[in-house]
Structures are given as structure tokens and as C-alpha cells.
A and B are shown apart, each in its own frame.
Chain A
Amino acid sequence: MKKIERRTVVCLALTLLLLLGLGLFVVRFFWDGEDWASFAANRHLYNSQGQLSVGRVLDRDGDVLTWVDESGNRQYYANQTVRMATLHAVGDPNGAIGTSALVAFAGELSGYNFLTGADNPFGPGNDLYLTLDAHLNYVAYQALNGKRGAVGVYNYETGEILCMVSTPTFDPANPPEIQEGDEQYEGVYVNRFLSSTFTPGSSFKTVTLTAAIENIPDLFQRTFTCTGSTTVGGEEITCPYAHGTMDINAAFASSCNGVFARLAAELGADTMSEYVEKAGLLGHYSVDGISTAAGSYDVAGASEGQLGWSGVGQYNDLVNPCAMMVWMGGIAGGGRAAVPHLIQEVDGGIPLPSLPFGRETGALIQGDTAQVLANMMAQNVVQTYGSGRFPNMDICAKSGTAEVGGGKQPNAWFVGFLRNADAPYAFAVVVEEGGSGASAAGNVAARVLDALVNGD
């Protein structure tokens, strides 16, 4: 009997397996429970069409962008243009836009918590206030004027994203039937501001210039000559016209490709890669849990000429507009910027402690370099873009006109920030096939910033 008694341990081993498995489930339950509950088949939170049937999304002023009517159907803001301008921030009824509030913040909207699950005793659904101002989105959407692109403006001290528009868009109140390959709706479910990457063009010269300031001691003593075409490593780097003889300030203001290609080649692939990385253009930011797309700067095995092109934001460089905006915020903030966020406040349900200020980025640039670069960018506006377009703003900016090939018009970029103490905003605008950066993207930026700073 003794032997058999000892062997009964197998029972305990099986029981232990059961309890371990149960423990794993409980851990997952706490870890993933919110995601499990935010599933379109969950009838506690979603109606039979799979629409989130609880919670309201509001903008920073309290304008209700979407709510649920008495019959459980999701309704959207009355004005169609506002609906279209806020589509990617708010979300579509089918939950096709994964980075929208209705999908990404479903847990916050439903008031899901571990204790009472999806059935919140304080009433169904929460009010989710976004940091966005729907009016700015409206202005930005109008300014894009039907072009594909992305606009983002945020407060680099607090991290609040004030404006975030991605086009093409559609009306969530009347979602169209989109056929595959339909040009009009190409990539419509992607929020280009958070989830896309674009060739940066000359806006990338801010990074090359940063590396040059910190690594080439006599940079400001040098003079450069541009004949409209410069040979770097056997490759011909062209400019729209001959810029003539100039110092680095003038080369930056006139955005001379030849000069910056030579600087990039001189700095070398390793130094360039290090600075792109440091500028935060290759990493992801977490915008309230939404991961932004990472850019890429791949010069491994590139020839000297290709390295030159990469220094002017061509070759195979790609950046994400949101990361570009934060980079601008970093320059403005003397090295660091707040990480952007979208949730202003979640109202209702069990009060959860929320952080009044977002987290900060690491050091994107050295403080004194940032100062120099900011002054040069301010000079750009005065000299090239025209400060009259930006009334009441101490603005620093850089445009970009990124060649994308394939017979398409170049992508237009306009990035920068304000140094006004009462208007600490950084912005990034990209207009696909927009043509000249300073005019196409610059106009969009000008209109949004004007509405933001001066009202309209």
C-alpha cells in the first residue's frame, strides 16, 4: 500500500497543471482583458452591426463628434466637412480605421475595468475628450483642398495634438462602398499622419544641418558655390537653378541640394545615421498607446553619391509626419519635446488618475545646436517663405519638395514651430503630389496656424 500511496502524487501533478493553466488565464485576463472586451462581437459594447454602442467622443471644446442615439446607433457631428476632417481621429462605424478613437480608445469609451468588466455600474460608456480642436481640423481639411496628405499641429510643451487630419477621407455618417483599387480612396483607412511614411525631401536638411553643425568645426566659415549641378562621388546632384556663392546660412535658406549632399558625403554614413536616429525619426512614438510608423534611413552599402542624395532627403529616406512634428518640437524645446497625446480627459465611470502632462522625449538635439538651427529656420521664413504669411508668429520652418518618381508631382512638405511663449506649437504638413513645398504645404500650414494663433 505504501508504494501505491506514494504514487498518488500524479494526481497532484495534474492538479498543478490545471492551476498553472488557470493562473496563466488570469494573468492574460488582467493583461489583455480590455482588448478582449473591445471586440466587435462583444454585444455588451457593440451593436449588431459591430459598432461601438457606448461612449461619446468630444473635441477639446466639448463639441460632440460622435455619440449613440437611443436606438443604439452611432451618430456623428452635424457638419459633413467636420465629420470628414475628423474621420481618422474619431473613427468610422465599421471600425476599419484601427488608429481611430472608436477602435484604439474603445476601452476608455466603454469604461471597461477589471472589477465590473464591460457592465459599468456608473452608466454605459464614457465621454472621451480629445485634445483636438475640430475647428482646426476643419480649416486644415479645407486648406488641403482635396489633395491627399496629412496635417498635424501640437503643443510641444504639453504634448496635446490640436490638429490631426489625414486625407483622402470619407463621411462616416454615409460610408461609401469602396472598391479595391479605387484611386479616390487610396489608403483611406490609414491615418497618414500617424501610420504612413513619406520621402522627406528638403525638410530632412534640418537633420543634415544638425550633424554638420556639431561635426564640422569650420562650417560657418566656409563658402560654397552652386552652379545648379554638383558632382558628389561621381553622381550629379542638381538644384533647380544656380545658387551661386554663399555661406551655410544662405545655402540652408535657398535649400541648396549640392551643398547638403556634399556635407552628407563628408559626414559619412555612420554619422548621418546616428543623427537621424537621435532625431527620433527612426523610432516609434506611442500616442496614447497608438504606435506611430517608424521612418527609415538605410545607407548601408550606398555609394557616396547616394549618401549625398540621402542628405537632402531623397534616396530611400522615409519619415513619418508625426515623428517629423516631434523633431520640430525638439528643436523648439531646446532638445526635448513632449510626446504627443490625443486623450484630453475621460469623463464618467470610475475616475482613473490621468497624467496632466505627457511624457517627454529623449534628447533629440543638443541645446545650443537647437538654438542655432532655430535661428537659421527663422531666417528661412524671413528670406524665402515670407513672414507676412504668418502674422503674429515667431515662426521657424523648413519646406521640402520630395521627388517621388513615377511621373508624379513631388510631395510637398512644410515643417516647423513657433517660438511664441503663448503659442508653443510645432507642426508638420505633407501634401502628396502637392508640388512646391513652400507654397502648397506652406499655405496649408499658414491657414491652420493663422486660425490657431489669430483666430479667424
Chain B
Amino acid sequence: MNALPASLQAGLTVLRQLPADHPDFYAWYTLILRFLFPVLAVLMLVRIIRSLVKASPKPEVWAYLSLPNGASEPLTHWENILGRSPASDVLLNYPVVSRQHAALIRGAGERWTVYDLGSKSGTFINGKRVEPEGSPMTLGDVLSLGGVDTVLLPVSDQETARRRKAAQKPVSPWGSLILLTVFQALTALQFLFSADEEHVLLLPAAFLCLALVMWVYCLVLRGMGRTGFEMETIAFFLSTLSLAVTASSAPGSVPKQLLAIFLGIVLFLIVGIFLRDLDRVRKIRWLMAAGAIFLLSLSLVLGHERYGAANWISLFGFSFQPSELAKICYIFAGAATLERLFRKRNLGLFILLTGACMGYLALMSDFGTAAIFFVTFLVIAYLRSGDFATLSLICGGAVFGGLVLVTVKPYILRRFAVWGHAWEQASDAGFQQTRTMSAAASGGLIGVGPGEGWLHRVSAADTDLVFGMLCEEWGLMIAVLSVACIAALAVFAVRCCRAGRSSFYTIAACAATSLLVFQTTLNVLGSVDILPLTGVTFPFVSNGGSAMLASWGLLAFLKAADTRSNASFAIRLPQTHGEQWLGNLAASGKKTAGKEKRREKD
């Protein structure tokens, strides 16, 4: 404050005096603002949410497979199953072809590999039987499935260009970003009025900082040719609310939360860029599994308890929840490419990893996170195996394990006994839930205004009960919109997966989405006594560095599934080949030339 020039200082003082000097004016201003916030949010989000929910990414074509009848079938994935079954990616309706005959998989550098999937009549490339561990295949090779001959043909650059032109364009981000900036600026101004003397400059500065970072991020990526920013805009919107919630409940932590958002964006970029290369991803899966175990054991060894769960560690004065980052590692380890799914069909090791994670979480009494891991596990296991029998068995086992746990430690059950009866125990076990509901109702549809609530005085209000704080200070409309944001991400991820390149992206995106959705479910419904209160965070919104980091990190998995043309930085732009690059269809000299050309384009 002392550092401010005298004129600015005077201006600030006048501004801060305004509510007292002109109460009528200020009352009208506040009232209009309370209506304006939801309107801005609706204008900003409805277009984005609609774009995400309605997006139908066109399948990309990676090569053609010419069939004996003269037709050619596009290969729309990196991983294709060839067979007679209607569930095949390339349907070959010949009696000699097995239901699931062979897999044709595109690796890095357009190297194709063929695997025989235990067909009756065998798979051959140029007359040679395919090796059990897969045989490489180049454009122009003849792939024979039990006598049915097909040829792998390239896609011309003209066609690629035409397809990209025809593809659905993501909505322009600028309108929403401008609205979000206005939203952030008005929030900053509001905190200029309501903040205490100590934080009067810090809080508005934090919002302006966030707006700046948001614009830098979008402009830089737009400059690099990327066009889809819906997910990021949603994340930035929720992060803005997170800053506002933190500013109300713990103004001193705002810089830390802002830093967490920056680091989250960095993590988002790192994970996203890393995900571009599947070979790279495949190599570190083991490392990631070990990472998940390491992070969880770290919190078990060094952890100390907060709000009943011993999942916090303190390092160099920073409190940290390793279990949040373990979620990212876990999804890395759990998702798998189709190739792996065929070579190793059972889920044994993955179940082992899950068991270890759940065990650690149970020891930490962090049942909310354990439930999130379990649901994520179920989603991954179902996507990988599609086997209901195994899954029911696992669920049965989990229920049994839960019953044993409850028998051994009956006090756990008592923590959940208040569920559905919060108002009957309003002063003890239902304390947090009843206050959340009361504060939420007090906000009405438009909220009482940022910084004007009281729920933040209840413990864990800005984390576990953050939905109540949103309802109270921002109103039901914005609170519902923020949940709708998460739901829109989920619908979008599922739609993108329809045009997925590899099963790794599909599984990872679905797992990350399910995790975010289920975590939101537990947080929102737990805080208002529709589900038991388990103490998990609202992705992107809750105050907390590790949770913020993890949310952005998980978003990278969704970003990597966005195959709309040029939309996502986590996806390599489709390469043009310049001259024909036709594998062994072309002379070897030409081939090298083509490669060089391509390198120039990269």
C-alpha cells in the first residue's frame, strides 16, 4: 500500500469509501452486478457447452485398404480390427475370414504392423505368414486374410487437405474469452470493495494476472495454428471461480492458488505434448504405475491428518496431497493400446496396481479418493475387457472387502451414518451439510455477491463444501453451470472417442472424464447430503494446489482425444507428404526424397 503513488492511493481510498458515501448508488451497482455475473456466465458458457456437446469429429483417414471386389475401405483409426464380425473396424464379409481375424496398427512414422488374432485360415503379407509378435507392413503390400487379398493404399495429400477443409471448425474462442475477461475484471473490482485492507490490492491483481495468462496461452497457441479452446475456456472459468472462492475464504492463499493454476497449465502442456507420441507413452507406463505407488506410499509415510484423512504431506512449508497427482499416473498406467490389449488380455497387473492404491488410500482413511480410484478402475477395466462377469466379480470382491473393513473398523461407518439425516444432527455430524444447504439457499439464483457470504467460516468450506460457497456467493445459476461444464467435458470426450486414433487415447480420455465427473458428483452431492460427505474436491474449483494441478493434468487426456482438425495441441497436425510417399510402391530413391521433403514440412 505504501508503495502506491499518492494520487493512486487517494483514488483507491475514494473508491473504497464509495459504499459508505453513496449507499444507494452502491446498492444498485451491487444488485445489477449480481444479475450481470450469471448473465455473463451464461453467455460465455452456453456457446462453448453447446459446441462441446454437439461436436461430432469426423473420422480421420490414415490409409485405404483395397478389397477384392474393387472397393477400398478407409482405415479411420491407428488401430483397426479386420474381420467378419460387425464389430470390426473393417468388415470383410467372407466365409474364410474369422470374426476377429487380424489387427492392422499404425505406429509412429506411418509404420504399419499386422497382427494375427488367432484366425483359422491365417494372415499373410506378400505371401509370408505373419509373425506371432506382429509383422511390419508398408504401403502397397498385399495383406491376405485366409485367401482374401487386400492392398494397403495411401491417402493423397489433396484428399487430406479436402477433408481438413470440410471438417467441423471449433467455435471461435474470442467472444467467450472477452466475456470471461469482463467477468474477471468485475470480480476483481468487487474484491476491491470487499477485501480487507491487507489484501486490497493483492486480490484484484490476482484476477488480472489470471486473465493475462489466459490471453497469453490462447494467443500463443492460436499463433501456432491451434483452434479449439473450449476445454481451456471452461478450465479458466472454473479456475476464476476457484480464485474467487479462495479470496473469500483465505485471501492469504490467493497467490499460492494462482501459482497452482500456472503450474497446472504447465503440467497440462507437458502431459499433452507428451501424449502426442504413443511409443513414448507406452515406454513410461511402468514408470507411471511405480509413480502412483510411490506417491501414495509417500503420503502414507510422511502424511499427516487433516479433516479425518491422513493424505497431506508438508515439504518446505508447502502442504501437498500426493494422492491427487497419483490419479494422473494411474490413468497413464491403466490405459492401453489395442496392440497391448491383444498381447496381454488379462487385467491381472492392473488389478494388482488398483489393489495397492486402494489399500494405501484405505490406510489413509481417504475413502472418497478410494471410491474415485475404484470407479476409474471399473471404467478402465470395462473399456479394456468389456467383460461383465469379471467386473461383477471384482465389484463383489470390493463389497466384501468393504464389509470386512467396516467390521474391523466400525467407526468408519459412523462417519457416514448422518447421511440423509443431516438436519436431525445439525449441530454435530450434520454440521457442515446443514450449513452448506442453508448458505446455498441464501444465495438464491443470483448469489449474494463475491466475498459477501459466511459459509467460508465453516471448516473445509472452500474445498469439500465449495459447491455451497458457489451457490451462496455466486448463485444457483453459476453453481449449476459449473457442474454443467464438467458434464459437457464428459459428453465431448465420449463424442471425440468415436473418432479416436488409438484405444490408448480413448481409454485415457474416458477414464480421466469419469474420474472428474465422479469426483464432482461426490463433492457436489456430498456437500448437500444427497450422498455421504466424503471430503473430495470439486475439480478446478476447490481451493488447493495439488487438486488444481491434478485437474489440469487430467484435462490433458481429454485434450489428446480431441481429433477435430487443428483443434488440439496434444495431437500432431496431420502430415502432408508433398510428393507421393508410397512405401514400396515407389522407387527407393523417390522414397528418401519424400522423407526429406516431409522433414522440411514438420
Contacts and interface: CB of A to CB of B under 8 A. Distances in A.
A1 B437 contact: no
B445 interface: yes
A275 interface: no
A29 B87 CA distance: 45
Interface string A1-45: 111111111111011011101101110110011101101011111
Nearest to A119: B448
Contacts of B531: 21
B521 A36 contact: no
A10 B77 contact: no
Contacts of B87: 2-3, 6
A7 B480 contact: no
Contacts of A116: 34, 444-446
Interface residues of B, number: 66
B27 interface: yes
Contact of B490 (A2, A4, A11, A32): A11
Nearest to B86: A2
B369 interface: no
A43 to B, nearest CB: 4
Interface stretch (B63-71, B107-115, B509-517, B583-591): B509-517
A115 interface: yes
A1 B80 contact: yes
A118 B79 contact: no
B244 interface: no
Nearest to B32: A121
A10 B379 contact: yes
A2 B82 CA distance: 11
B507 interface: yes
A114 B528 contact: no
B483 A22 contact: yes
A44 B434 contact: no
Interface in B416-445: 426, 434-435, 437-445
Contacts of A10: 378-379, 382-383, 510, 514
B500 A5 contact: yes
B89 interface: yes
B150 interface: no
A8 B383 contact: yes
Contacts of B276: none
A48 B486 CA distance: 37
B530 A118 contact: no
Contacts of B89: 1-2
A158 interface: no
Interface string B520-557: 11001100101100000000000000000000000000
A64 B452 CA distance: 30
A57 B517 CA distance: 47
Contact of A113 (B382, B444, B498): B444
A2 B100 CA distance: 12
Given A9-B494, A10-B510, A33 B79 contact: no
Interface in B185-238: none
A363 B437 CA distance: 42
Interface string B458-480: 00000000000001100110001
A26 B498 CA distance: 32
A4 B502 CA distance: 10
Contacts, number: 166
Nearest to B499: A5
A117 interface: yes
A9 B493 CA distance: 11
B342 interface: no
Contacts of B491: 12, 15
Contacts of A8: 383, 493-494, 497-498, 506, 510
Nearest to B338: A1
B343 to A, nearest CB: 16
Interface string B104-128: 0000000000000000000000000
Nearest to B80: A1
A12 B521 CA distance: 13
Contacts of B441: 29, 32-34, 36-37, 112, 117-118
Contacts of A1: 77, 79-81, 89, 338, 500, 503, 506
A39 B507 CA distance: 46
B270 interface: no
For B443, B506, B531, the residue with the greatest tally of chain A CB atoms inside 10 Å of its CB is B443
Nearest to B527: A25
A118 B386 contact: no
Given A8-B494, A10-B510, A37 B442 contact: yes
A39 B455 CA distance: 13
Dominant SS among interface residues on chain B: helix
A25 B530 contact: yes
A18 B517 contact: yes
A6 B382 CA distance: 11
A118 B454 contact: no
A179 to B, nearest CB: 22
Contact of A41 (B434, B483, B497, B518): B434
B273 interface: no
Contacts of A5: 497-498, 500, 506
B77 A21 contact: no
B301 interface: no
B31 interface: yes
Contact of A4 (B34, B383, B448, B493): B383
Nearest to B379: A10
Contacts of A14: 375, 379, 490, 514, 517-518, 521
Contacts of B475: 117
B519 to A, nearest CB: 10
Given A8-B510, A10-B514, A15-B491, A25 B447 contact: no
Contacts of B72: none
B517 A26 contact: no
Contacts of B490: 11-12, 14-15
A17 to B, nearest CB: 6
Nearest to A35: B441
B494 A36 contact: no
Interface string A415-432: 000000000000000000
Contacts of B81: 1-3
Nearest to B528: A25
B506 A4 contact: yes
B120 to A, nearest CB: 20
A114 B444 contact: yes
A237 to B, nearest CB: 47
A10 to B, nearest CB: 5
A44 B442 contact: yes
Given A37-B442, A114-B444, A115-B446, A43 B521 contact: no
A21 B530 contact: yes
A163 B178 CA distance: 61
For A24, A26, A33, A34, the residue with the greatest tally of chain B CB atoms inside 10 Å of its CB is A33
Interface string B303-347: 000000000000000000000000000000000001000000000
Nearest to B378: A10
B88 interface: yes
A41 B383 contact: no
Nearest to A12: B494
Interface string A178-218: 00000000000000000000000000000000000000000
29 contacts: A1-B81, A3-B87, A3-B386, A4-B383, A4-B500, A4-B506, A8-B493, A10-B378, A10-B379, A11-B494, A11-B510, A14-B490, A15-B491, A19-B483, A19-B487, A21-B531, A22-B525, A32-B437, A32-B441, A33-B441, A34-B441, A36-B437, A37-B438, A42-B442, A42-B454, A43-B454, A115-B444, A118-B444, A121-B31
> Ordered nearest first, which 7 A-B pairs have the shortest CB separation?
A117-B444, A36-B441, A118-B442, A43-B454, A33-B441, A39-B438, A119-B448
Given A18-B520, A41-B435, A43-B457, 18 more contacts: A1-B79, A1-B81, A4-B338, A4-B500, A4-B503, A8-B493, A10-B378, A15-B490, A18-B487, A26-B480, A32-B437, A33-B441, A43-B454, A44-B454, A115-B445, A118-B443, A119-B443, A121-B27
